[in-house]
Chains A and B, each alone.
Chain A
Amino acid sequence: MNVDDQIDQNRFAEVFLPHVDDAFRLARWISGSRADAEDIVQEASLRAFKGIRNFNGGSTRAWTLTIVRNASYSWLAKNRPSTVVLTEDLDQRAREEMERGAGDGDVPTPEAALIAKMEAEEVRNAVAALPLPFREILVLREIHDLDYRSIAEIIQVPIGTVMSRLARARKLIFATLRESAR
């Protein structure tokens, strides 16, 4: 192995490898399958290794997750083209529903109590059933504990969009859980 390769390997080991668990979780939530997630992370690791010289400081975690997200989308487009939804449509719908939000006529339910009663499994299933743009944002926030700015960077949308999608994602989860508790 020559010196350059060794340097790349060392950088890869420092930048990508510490985040393999995080990478796996993101890919699993996006793809919905453990086996597919491992394929995706392997593909992402190859991309990361080839592009390791493009990494110039900043958060190694955000850099890694950006690559994993892109690899996940490529994988979905190739293997499950029907699941990739146009986010513009969803954002429009989310806005409309948020505007209507006040008048949906629901009796206020103590959702905190509802969730406390439910199995974590059920809650996770509800997240898994969210449309992809809402799911990934909720996962990046709650599972990966990223702040709005990092999320905006990873998924390449303005912070305002992060905020409205996240708010919508949470409301959708509550709607699903109320439905299944009925």
Chain B
Amino acid sequence: MSVSEQDELVLNAYLDGELGPIEAARFEQRLAKEPELAAEVDARRALRDSLRSGLAEDVPSDDLRRRIMASVGGAEVHKARPWARSWSSLAASFLVGALLGGGLIFGALNDQGQQDVASQVVSAHIRALMAPQSIDVPSSDRHTVKPWFAGKLALAPKVVDLSTKGFPLVGGRIDVIGLAPVASLVYTNGKHLISVMEMPSAQPLAAPLEKHVEQGYQALTWSDGKITYWVVSDAAVEELKTFVGLFQEAAES
């Protein structure tokens, strides 16, 4: 191969998105004219795709989070609930639960438990409002937001486009609810921010919409049996219910 050392570095930097726009444009002109260079870029892209293909399955066991909390002396260990597990392992425990037949793993989340989640969900929303930037991935394009989560969480959240309905997407972030990372989407409605958090359901049953009020914020929750959704905002509850209706409709289609 006759790619010079300098070209080698430039093509790697190009592939990795490290070139400035002018350099990148110039390099793309070269790529169009030099098939050998283009083949080198293609090869590196294929390598990347291959390495990223098995990413979602490459997650630690349930046990690791428990061990971590135990080693930092957390009282939280005792509070650990079924949903405080990584998403993919939840699917595994679902299987085990189904096999046992007794559904032991799905201890019903009691009212106190749900209240805990409500206050954590609201806290996460408030924390995001107070932070200099309330979103980690600022984008109104769901095709940007969803893949961003895919690299960070075992299961990417449902991201729907409601911009034409008056609720444009502004981005996403990761919150920690019950010691597990959770995908949060951020939508706006006028001046109000709406956080939508998606976490694995604690029990394999759909649950109807339920309202919580915490520190002046409205939190609505429902479950489709696989995912439990939480929607938090300081917007009026009617607006929020409209949003939930639109979200559910778009998520199903």
Q: Do A and B come from one complex?
A: yes
Q: Does B75 contact A (CB under 8 A)?
A: yes
Name the interface residues of A5-40: CB closer than 8 Å to any CB of B: 5, 9, 12-14, 17-22, 24-25, 28, 34, 37-38
Contacts A38-B63, A41-B68, A170-B12; A118 near B39 (Cβ below 8 A)? no
Given A115-B46, A164-B9, is A18 in contact with B86 using a C-beta cutoff of 8 Å? Answer: no
The B22-62 residues at the A interface (CB cut-off 8 A) are: 36, 39-40, 42-48, 50-55, 58-61
Q: Of A41, A114, A148, A164, which one neighbours B16 at CB under 8 angstroms?
A: A148
- Which secondary structure characterizes the binding site on chain A? helix
B239 within 8 Å of A by Cβ? no
Taken together as a complex, chains A and B put the C-alpha atoms of A65 and B179 apart, in Å, by 18
State the B residues within 8 Å of A (CB).
1-5, 8-9, 12-13, 16-18, 36, 39-40, 42-48, 50-55, 58-61, 63-65, 67-68, 71-76, 86, 151-154, 174, 176, 179-181
Q: Which residues of A contact B74 (CB under 8 A)?
A: 9
Question: CA of A99 to CA of B9 in the docked complex: distance in angstroms?
Answer: 12
Distance in angstroms from B67 CB to nearest chain A CB is 5
Q: Does A85 have its Cβ within 8 Å of any Cβ on chain B?
A: no
Q: Kindly list the 6 A-B residue pairs having the minimum CB-CB distance in the complex, ordered from nearest.
A: A111-B43, A112-B42, A24-B60, A115-B46, A49-B72, A112-B46
Bound Cα distance A164, B42 (Å): 19
Q: Is the CB of A124 within 8 A of B51?
A: yes
Number of interface residues, chain A, beta carbon within 8 A: 57
B5 touches A101 (CB 8 A): yes
Q: How far is the CA of A24 from the CA of B4 in the complex (A)?
A: 37
Q: What are 20 A-B residue pairs whose CB atoms fall within 8 Å in the complex?
A: A12-B72, A14-B176, A17-B176, A18-B176, A20-B64, A21-B152, A21-B153, A38-B64, A42-B71, A104-B1, A108-B1, A112-B39, A115-B50, A116-B46, A120-B50, A123-B47, A145-B151, A148-B16, A167-B8, A174-B43
Residues of B within 8 A of A111 (CB): 39-40, 42-43, 46
Q: Which residue of A lies closest to B181 (CB)?
A: A18
In the docked arrangement, what's the CA distance between A106 and B40, Å?
14
**Nearest CB of chain B from residue A35's CB, rounded to whole Å:** 9
Question: What is the CA–CA distance of A112 and B36 in the complex, to the nearest angstrom?
Answer: 12
Interface membership of A157, Cβ < 8 A: no
Complex: A173 Cα to B53 Cα, angstroms: 17
Contact residues in B for A38 (Cβ distance below 8 Å): 60-61, 63-64, 67
Contacts of A12 in B (CB 8 A): 72
User: Cβ of A84 < 8 Å from any Cβ of B?
Assistant: no
Q: Which residues on the A side are within 8 Å of B13 (C-beta)?
A: 148, 163
Residue among B40, B43, B67, B179 with max Cβ neighbours from chain A (10 Å): B43
Q: How far is the CA of A114 from the CA of B47 in the complex (A)?
A: 10
Q: Please, how many angstroms separate the alpha-carbon atoms of A138 and B15 in the complex?
A: 13
